[in-house]
Amino acid sequence: MRRTLLATTLLATQAGADTSVLTVYAGDYFTSEWGPGPKIEAGFEEICNCDLQFSTGDLLPRLLLEGERTKADVVIGLTSDVTAKARATGLFAPHGQDNAALTLPIDWADDTFLPFNYGHTAFIYNETMMDAPPASFDALLEMDDDVKLVIQDPRTSISGLALVLWVEAVYGDKSADVWAKLAPKILTVTKDWSASYGMFTDGEVDMVLSYTTSPAYHMFAEEDFTKKAAIFPEGHYFMVETVGKIAKTDAPELADAFMAYVLSTDFQQMIPTANWSLPSALPEDQWPEGWAQLPLPEKVLFYSEEEAESRKDQAIETWRTALSQ
Amino acid sequence: MLRLESIRIAQGDFALEADFEITPGRKTAVIGPSGAGKSTLLGATGGFLPLASGRLWWQDRDITHTPPGQRPIAMLFQDNNLFPHLSIAQNIGLGIRPDLKLTPEDQARVDLALERVGLGGMSARRPGELSGGQQSRAALARVLVQDRPVILLDEPFAALGPALRQEMLDLVQELSAEAEATLLMVTHDPADVRRIVDDVIFVEGGRAAAPQPAKSLLEDPPPALRAYLG
Amino acid sequence: MAHRAQPVIGTTGIVAGGFVVAVVVLSFVGLGLRAEVGRGLGPSEWAAIRFTVVQSAWSAVISVICAIPLARALARRRFWGRGALITLLGAPFILPVIVAVLGLLTVFGRTGWVNEVLGVLGLPGLSIYGLHGVVLAHVFFNLPLATRLLLQGWQSIPAERFRLAAQLDLPPAMIRRTLEYPLLLQVVPGAAALIFVICLTSFAVALTLGGGPRATTIELAIYQAFRFDFDLARASLLSIIQLVLAGSAALIALWIIPDFPLTAGLDRKLRRWDARGGVQRALDTGIIALGSAFLLLPLMAILLAGLQGLPEMPSVVWKTAGNSLGVAVLSIAVLLAIALPMAGWISTRRAGGAEAIGLIGLSASPLMIGTGWFILINPVADPVPLALPVTALINALMALPFALRILVPPLRDVLTTYDRLTRSLGLQGWPAWRWLVLPRLRAQIGFAAGLTGALSVGDLGVIALFADPDRATLPLQMYRLMGAYRTEAAAGAALLLLAMALGLFWICDKGGRWGAEA
């Protein structure tokens, strides 16, 4: 009964709502059985009386290649490093939701891309292997060169880019020196986060560039409490994933309904364990059990889209030069 | 009637000329010193070597430019007369239809040919499972089903022992007589000439002489032939 | 000039060759349609080009240098299991790169087996990261190829010459001079050139083992230009540079690339009179042991990690394995449809220049071909359902140069040997293929198909860009597992990938030989 009622209200104008399809473009990891996709699909279909179909791939290149011909109604998983390019395509419409509902540690004023989860960059270590983890970014730089890190390439990975911006945000003009100090500790640079993290779990490195929420996976999925994020008082770079609505969607009502669903408690409560990240619009007291105890940074660093765009080329070049010595 | 009309075959520095007719139904040997061009003459007749000039006639048909497979000629070479990966029956069948789409009648012809050369019951074997003599018989069986009016033998039995070679030549003789075919064969052995052939073409010094009756030629050879025969 | 009928007609071969060129050229047309003026090539791209050439050159030289003693030892020693060992030593060449890197890290990584042993012995550890790591990985992949080529060369020395050398009681130095140096002179440049070309387009190896941005290859720079800046102009430009670089190296190399030998048939019973005992035997044994350890330990590492991960593997992995199998089978079909007519065409030509067309597929960036075709297809059809076929096509193109090397020399042989017989029987066109070429070349066709299948199964390919949930391949699934913290399950998937690549190769190769005679 409830389902029919909701459907009628939400889709008042839509005839034959049973057959209508909402096509959602998502990142490749999204729809695997351990990703958030299946839960989101089930949750939304519960209320929309529609068929939600995920289409996965490399989001931005695919959108850019498809242009106006894109079949997407909604795009989920655009990270903050690509929103500028995504915005420039002109394919997106305002998200139509109230940003005031967000519980992010930063102010979010964007009315096109709606955050649905977040995290921060952090170096993860195994406390059984490392008795004196660095207590600050400065301490990280002063560590013995025998302590080995693995990071990601900022030109191919969002977390790699976030690290470069992180260094930029903490150290500014001194970034080149920071990279010079880090260089001997960096065992290697991988293309993507997965390869780095695999090296860390295999014990090949002492610390890996990852997210503050990474220990949560080990805690809640594996009951392994040895993996910790090193929290630095200098602050951690903020990382967010967003949803956007395609302006020319042929299912605008469904798309709007989906945007609203993203901010719903149902969706938000599912995010932590489905995506191993923090919900964007959920007060801490409603987080799943144990999540509020996760050590999180006091200080959060973030560049606005324009500022990140203007700084990143120089920051990457600084990184590349220092690590190419 | 096979006619070689003022033909000239050129291969680098080497050239061979011939201008004669071969009488149908006759068995003719091609003899001459090593390197004189015996195989060249057969190769050109079979269509494997181009003519620099001249024409080749079969009856009233100009076959100078006809591809080998479409000439009225079946030929056996010194080696590689059978495909090692195909069965004997398939090898022979290729002589009837190159695509091996054989009708039951065609199959029967293959079997008959096998019987005729004494290889009955061996149709499923591969050449590698046969002795040298049997392989020669199989090749002859294919010549049989090809049913061409002219048969060219470029020393296909050279690798066999003397007794076996005789046996094969006798078989060839019988088969070509039955088919009323014209036989043209390269040989080194004057004994072959005496035993089998009617005519002899002597190849030497860049020329293939017109066929002469074997008997008279051997009894009173010209000086060059005398030198060759020793 | 008499009409010379060719038993295998060239036109289909020319069409196939034209198709290959068209696939690559049209993809660039597609890219050109969407490329905007980008920032061109900066210092980082030039550094990538330099690094690519340097690492390829080192990889080629070291692979060949290591292959010489190994091939020689294998050529002159007879021992139980030699044939099996030689077959197994070929495995790294068809190993999926992402799987191999995992194995290499387990053995040579900072906390790997080698460093553990060195640590126990109180010796300083060694680092795999950097140029030498990239080269090490490339040697791992290509040493088998180089060894194969050299071993084949060694075994092509007629037994009579060794008998003569034994009769004259030539000392080892003299045997080297009279028998081995001329052979090496013949085989080494070609083998090195071939490996150079293969390493030019390397992508995944440099990512992890390079140790940092200085180890950026052209293919990685293409990926960055495409993925990060979406600068299609720069990506295309880099892709063309890579094509020209690999293409010209290949063209030069083609004159000297040796024939690609079959895997088996290397077990010819041949008494080697120059195989001496004492120090020489100990040395040979040591070299074979060392070479085997280098090539087989990483395989063992993959096996061990994979066995632990197998129970963790979600069932969806099997479905993606099915997709990968489909892609591989399709790749094999496409490859044979292209390679056989092309081989027929090439082997009836005297000059080998046409074979260079086959190298285009290997030298062009698969990412760029895939993207170009996406742009071309998008206006007229939905590219997503075509992702798997396009991947299969691109994989087939990558295997094409190897297939041609495998097929052309024996085909040329067959056509020469049976030239007069086929012509006297009027055997040409399809019957010539059906009754002569295909049965004679069964072993080579099986080998080429196996190689293609193995390479195709392991390739991540362009599928990553446009894969639908239902169309993921096994390598992609492996990445997904890694991306979801499931490292152990990913190791299980890696083992499955390894088993599939080797299994496909084995089945095709055996199938080609099964019942083959004469």
What residue segments make up the domains of chain C, in order of their start?
19-513
Cα(C219)–Cα(C49) distance, rounded to whole angstroms? 9
The residue of chain C nearest to residue A152, with distances taken between CA atoms, is: C212
**B162, B132 in Cβ contact below 8 A?**
no
pLDDT at C518 exceeding the cut of 70 = no
Residues A49 and A193 in one domain: no
Q: Alpha helix locations (H) across C123-158?
A: 131-155
pLDDT at A6 exceeding the cut of 60 = no
Q: Which of C45, C208, C214, C378 to mutate to test the interface with A (most CBs of A within 10 A)?
A: C208
pLDDT at C468: 67
For residue A240, the cross-strand partners are A118
Query: What's the rounded mean pLDDT across residues C410-419?
Result: 85
- Read off the pLDDT band of C148 (50, 70, 90): confident
For residue A124, the cross-strand partners are A208, A229
Q: Cα separations (Å) of A123 from A177, A200, A272? A: 19, 11, 19
Chains with ≥3 CB–CB distances under 8 Å to C: A, B
Residues B127 and B162 in one domain: no
**C235, C369 in Cβ contact below 8 A?**
no
- Read off the pLDDT band of C351 (50, 70, 90): low
Comparing C-alpha atoms, which of A121, A184, A127 is closest to residue A157? A121
Q: Which of B8, B83, B88 to mutate to test the interface with C (most CBs of C within 10 A)?
A: B83
For residue C119, the cross-strand partners are none
Beta strands in B95-208 (DSSP E): 150-153, 182-186, 199-204, 207-208
Shortest Cα distance from A160 to chain C (angstroms)?
Answer: 12
| A97: number of Cβ within 10 Å | 18
> At a CB cut-off of 8 Å and minimum separation 6, what does A228 contact?
A124, A125, A126, A127, A133, A215, A295
Residues A73 and A181 in one domain: no
Query: What's the rounded mean pLDDT across residues C161-170?
Result: 72
Residues B195 and B223 in one domain: yes
For residue B67, give the nearest of C5, C417, C420 by CB distance.
Answer: C5
Comparing C-alpha atoms, which of A287, A257, A253, A258 is closest to residue A270? A287
| Domain count across chain B | 2
Domain holding A83, by residue range, is: 2-118+240-293
Chain C CB contacts of A56 under 8 Å are 467-469
- Read off the pLDDT band of C517 (50, 70, 90): very low
* For chain C, counts of helices (H) and of strands (E): 24, 0
Chain B CB contacts of C427 under 8 Å are 69, 94, 98
For residue A64, give the nearest of C109, C230, C382 by CB distance.
Answer: C230
* For chain B, counts of helices (H) and of strands (E): 8, 11
| A162: number of Cβ within 10 Å | 29
Residue position matching structure tokens 């949560």? A216
Chain C CB contacts of A28 under 8 Å are 464, 467, 476, 479-480, 483
Three-class DSSP category at B53 = strand
Dump pLDDT digits (tens) for A31-58. 777 788 888 999 999 888 899 998 887 8
Chains with ≥3 CB–CB distances under 8 Å to A: C
Chain A CB contacts of C316 under 8 Å are 32-33
End-to-end CA distance of chain A: give it in Å, rounded. Answer: 67
- Read off the pLDDT band of C404 (50, 70, 90): confident
- Read off the pLDDT band of A94 (50, 70, 90): very high
Query: What's the rounded mean pLDDT across residues C92-111?
Result: 84
Residues A154 and A261 in one domain: no
Query: What's the rounded mean pLDDT across residues A9-27?
Result: 64
**C424, B70 in Cβ contact below 8 A?**
no
Is there a contact between C440 and B85 if contact means CB atoms under 8 Å apart?
yes
pLDDT at C3 exceeding the cut of 50 = no
Dump pLDDT digits (tens) for A145-191. 999 999 999 988 889 999 999 999 999 999 999 999 999 999 999 88
- Read off the pLDDT band of A73 (50, 70, 90): very high
Cα(C399)–Cα(C329) distance, rounded to whole angstroms? 13
pLDDT at C469: 66
Shortest Cα distance from C417 to chain B (angstroms)?
Answer: 7
Chain C CB contacts of B98 under 8 Å are 425-428, 431-432, 435
Is there a contact between C424 and B69 if contact means CB atoms under 8 Å apart?
yes
**A298, A233 in Cβ contact below 8 A?**
yes
pLDDT: which is higher, A276 or C173: A276
> At a CB cut-off of 8 Å and minimum separation 6, what does C30 contact?
C371, C372, C373, C374, C375, C376
Residues A61 and A209 in one domain: no
Domain holding B12, by residue range, is: 1-72+157-230
End-to-end CA distance of chain B: give it in Å, rounded. Answer: 33
Is there a contact between B83 and C424 if contact means CB atoms under 8 Å apart?
no
pLDDT at B40: 92
Residues B92 and B129 in one domain: yes
Comparing C-alpha atoms, which of A24, A20, A21, A49 is closest to residue A37? A24
Asked if the structure places residue B203 within a domain, the reply is yes
pLDDT at C40: 74
> Between vectors from CA C417 to CA B134 and to CA B83, what angle results, nearest 5°?
35
> At a CB cut-off of 8 Å and minimum separation 6, what does A5 contact?
none
Residues A83 and A111 in one domain: yes
Residue position matching structure tokens 């005729």? B116
- Read off the pLDDT band of C259 (50, 70, 90): low
Dump pLDDT digits (tens) for C214-246. 888 888 888 888 888 888 888 888 888 888 888
The residue of chain A nearest to residue C48, with distances taken between CA atoms, is: A324
Chain A CB contacts of C314 under 8 Å are 33-34
For residue B47, give the nearest of C2, C428, C435 by CB distance.
Answer: C2
> Between vectors from CA C428 to CA C423 and to CA C430, what angle results, nearest 5°?
160
pLDDT at B225: 84
Dump pLDDT digits (tens) for C182-202. 778 777 887 888 888 888 877
Residues A267 and A304 in one domain: no
User: Counting every residue, how long is chain C?
Assistant: 518
The residue of chain B nearest to residue C441, with distances taken between CA atoms, is: B85
The pLDDT mean for chain C works out to 82
The residue of chain A nearest to residue C35, with distances taken between CA atoms, is: A65
pLDDT: which is higher, C139 or B217: C139
pLDDT at C71 exceeding the cut of 80 = yes
Contacting C with CB below 8 Å, chain B residues are: 43, 46-51, 64-70, 73-75, 77, 80-81, 83-86, 90, 94-95, 98-100, 126-128
Cα(C328)–Cα(C508) distance, rounded to whole angstroms? 12
Cα(C54)–Cα(C76) distance, rounded to whole angstroms? 34
pLDDT at C275 exceeding the cut of 70 = no
pLDDT at C72: 87
- Read off the pLDDT band of A18 (50, 70, 90): low
pLDDT at A75: 95
pLDDT at C65: 94
| Domain count across chain A | 2
For residue C163, the cross-strand partners are none
Domain at B26, CATH number? 3.40.50.300
pLDDT: which is higher, C2 or A58: A58
**C326, C456 in Cβ contact below 8 A?**
no
Shortest Cα distance from B225 to chain C (angstroms)?
Answer: 31
Q: Are strands A236-246 and A114-126 parallel, antiparallel or unpaired?
A: antiparallel
The pLDDT mean for chain B works out to 90
Q: How many beta-carbon pairs under 8 angstroms link A with C?
A: 142
Burial A226-235 (b: 16+ CB within 10 A, else e): ebbbbbbeeb
Asked if the structure places residue B10 within a domain, the reply is yes
Give the least confident one: A154-158, B6-10, C8-12, C437-441: C8-12
Is there a contact between A323 and C212 if contact means CB atoms under 8 Å apart?
yes
Chain A CB contacts of C136 under 8 Å are none
Comparing C-alpha atoms, which of A153, A63, A247 is closest to residue C225? A153
Residues A128 and A82 in one domain: no
Dump pLDDT digits (tens) for A184-235. 999 999 888 888 998 898 889 999 999 999 999 999 888 899 999 999 999 9
pLDDT at C29 exceeding the cut of 80 = yes
Residue position matching structure tokens 């096994």? C474
Is there a contact between B69 and C430 if contact means CB atoms under 8 Å apart?
no
pLDDT at A17: 45
Give chain A's radius of gyration (CA, Å).
21
Burial A188-224 (b: 16+ CB within 10 A, else e): bbbbbbbbbbbbbbbebbbbbbbbbbbbbbbbbeeee
The residue of chain C nearest to residue B128, with distances taken between CA atoms, is: C518
Asked if the structure places residue B118 within a domain, the reply is yes
**B176, B149 in Cβ contact below 8 A?**
no
Residues of chain A with pLDDT > 90: what percent? 61
Chain B CB contacts of C421 under 8 Å are 77, 80-81, 83
Q: Cα separations (Å) of B102 from A261, B106, B110, B113, C146? A: 72, 5, 10, 15, 47
Query: What's the rounded mean pLDDT across residues A72-100?
Result: 91
For residue C464, give the nearest of A32, A58, A198 by CB distance.
Answer: A58
Give the least confident one: B122-126, C193-197, C255-259, C405-409: C255-259
Shortest Cα distance from B153 to chain C (angstroms)?
Answer: 13
Query: Hey, what amino acid is at C276?
Result: R
pLDDT at C54: 92
| C173: number of Cβ within 10 Å | 8
Shortest Cα distance from C513 to chain B (angstroms)?
Answer: 12
Asked if the structure places residue B134 within a domain, the reply is yes
Asked which of B97, B122, B147 is the last residue of a domain, the reply is B147
Chain B CB contacts of C420 under 8 Å are 43, 46, 48, 68, 75, 77, 80
Residues of chain C with pLDDT > 90: what percent? 14
- Read off the pLDDT band of C129 (50, 70, 90): confident
Q: Cα separations (Å) of C55 from C153, C223, C392? A: 26, 19, 29
Comparing C-alpha atoms, which of C398, C414, C511, C510 is closest to residue C455? C398
pLDDT at C264 exceeding the cut of 60 = no
> Between vectors from CA C93 to CA C439 and to CA C309, what angle results, nearest 5°?
115
Residue position matching structure tokens 């200080």? A299
Please provide the CATH number assigned to the domain covering C19-513: 1.10.3720.10
pLDDT: which is higher, A115 or A55: A115
Residues B136 and B167 in one domain: no
The pLDDT mean for chain A works out to 88
Residues of chain C with pLDDT > 70: what percent? 88
Q: Cα separations (Å) of B39 from B32, B76, B137, B207, C187? A: 10, 11, 21, 13, 37
pLDDT: which is higher, C268 or C110: C110
Helix then strand then coil, in percent of chain C rounded to 5, is 75, 0, 25
Helix (H) or strand (E) holding C30: helix C10-34
Three-class DSSP category at C489 = helix
Residues of chain B with pLDDT > 90: what percent? 48
Q: Encode chain A in three state secondary structure.
A: CHHHHHHHHHCCCCCCHHHCEEEEEECHHHHCCCCCHHHHHHHHHHHHCCEEEEEECCHHHHHHHHHHHCCCCEEEEEECCCHHHHHHCCCEECCCCCHHHCCCCCCCCCCCCEEEEEEEEEEEEECCCCCCCCCCHHHHHHCCCCCCEEEECCCCCHHHHHHHHHHHHHHHHHHHHHHHHHHHHEEEEECCHHHHHHHHHCCCCCEEEEECCHHHHHHHHHCCCCEEEECCCCCEEEEEEEEEEECCCCCHHHHHHHHHHHCCHHHHHHHHHHHCCEECCCCHHHCCCCHHHCCCCCCEECCCHHHHHHHHHHHHHHHHHHHCC
Chain C CB contacts of B81 under 8 Å are 421
**B32, B228 in Cβ contact below 8 A?**
yes
Three-class DSSP category at C183 = helix
Is there a contact between C466 and A60 if contact means CB atoms under 8 Å apart?
no
Residue B178: CA count within 13 A, CB half-sphere: 13
- Read off the pLDDT band of A7 (50, 70, 90): very low
Residues A263 and A176 in one domain: no
pLDDT at C416 exceeding the cut of 60 = yes
For residue C480, give the nearest of A32, A71, A202 by CB distance.
Answer: A32
Shortest Cα distance from C337 to chain B (angstroms)?
Answer: 21
Helix then strand then coil, in percent of chain B rounded to 5, is 40, 25, 40
Asked if the structure places residue B152 within a domain, the reply is no
Query: What's the rounded mean pLDDT across residues C292-316?
Result: 89
For residue C111, give the nearest of A71, A156, A203 by CB distance.
Answer: A203
pLDDT: which is higher, C377 or B53: B53
pLDDT at C269: 47
pLDDT at C267: 40
Q: Which of C1, C416, C421, C427 to mutate to test the interface with B (most CBs of B within 10 A)?
A: C421
Chain A CB contacts of C47 under 8 Å are 324
pLDDT at C483 exceeding the cut of 90 = no
Dump pLDDT digits (tens) for C490-504. 889 989 988 998 888
